[in-house]
Amino acid sequence: MSNERASLIRRQPPACAKQSGVSLVELILFIVIVGIAVAAVLQIYGVTARANADPLLRRQSLAIAQALMEEISYKAASNPPGGFTGPCTPANRWLFDDVVDYSGFSLAGIADLTNVPISGLENYQLNVAVVSAAFGPVPISAGLRITVTVTDPVGESTVLEGYRASYP
């Protein structure tokens, strides 16, 4: 073999030599795929962040409804002798002595039993309906259905229903 030919053979890289680094095409594909994935994750994050306040308002509405339902449920089913018979207003709520006294009761801004407004709940609305109802073995003449509706500041309503029977 001549020296020229031997030097040419030595200069050529072997056919099975490993490639190191990345090509421009691979780099562009990687950037496109990662960009699509990041955009999808950010879109999901945005939807979650926008809807995050709604559960708070629903939980608050439910807590208000449950508190009033508990207050009403502890009252007698029918008016006791000499009991309260006046109009159902927030100012005389502390006088309510039976479930029927709450029929038609409403609040614009949540207040406690003595009509003191509760801070942070001034934009909630509350309505109560009490109607005769039969349920289970209880006839309509002895049963009451209590419906408490709370409307949150964005206009969504939470309805809680309960039943009360007049025991013999």
Q: Give me the pLDDT at residue 57, please.
A: 87
pTM above 0.75, yes or no: no
Per-domain boundaries in the chain: 53-165
Q: Give me the pLDDT at residue 18, please.
A: 66
pLDDT 10s digits, 68-87: 999 998 888 887 887 888 78
pLDDT 10s digits, 105-129: 999 989 888 888 898 899 999 999 9
DSSP assignments along 9-77, one per residue: HHHSPPTTPPP-S--HHHHHHHHHHHHHHHHHHHHHHHHHHHHTHHHHHHHHHHHHHHHHHHHHHTSBS
